[in-house]
Amino acid sequence: MSDYKFSNEPGMAERLQRKSHEEMKLRLLRDIRTDMAVCGVEGWNQVEYIGELIELLKGLKYADNGAEN
């Protein structure tokens, strides 16, 4: 059985989601920094790598309007 207890406290779900998003951003940033370090060690182009990540993010569709940015 899980030790988790759900709360009906107003705003709890939003706070948990915000915390989860912040933790995910930190993990992504840590992974990107590691990849950039590998690029530096191996002599690979860091600018090209970051550009590829930017293009990947630009290709995401936003749920609120379905438009690509």
Q: 49, exposed or middle or buried, with CB in 10 Å at 0-12, 13-18, 19+?
A: middle
pLDDT digits (tens, 9 = 90+) for 5-57: 667 788 888 998 999 999 999 999 999 999 999 999 999 999 999 999 999 88
Handedness of CA 43, 55, 63, 19 (dihedral sign): positive
Q: Is the pTM of this model over 0.95?
A: no
Evaluate whether 50 touches 43 at the Cβ level (below 8 Å).
no
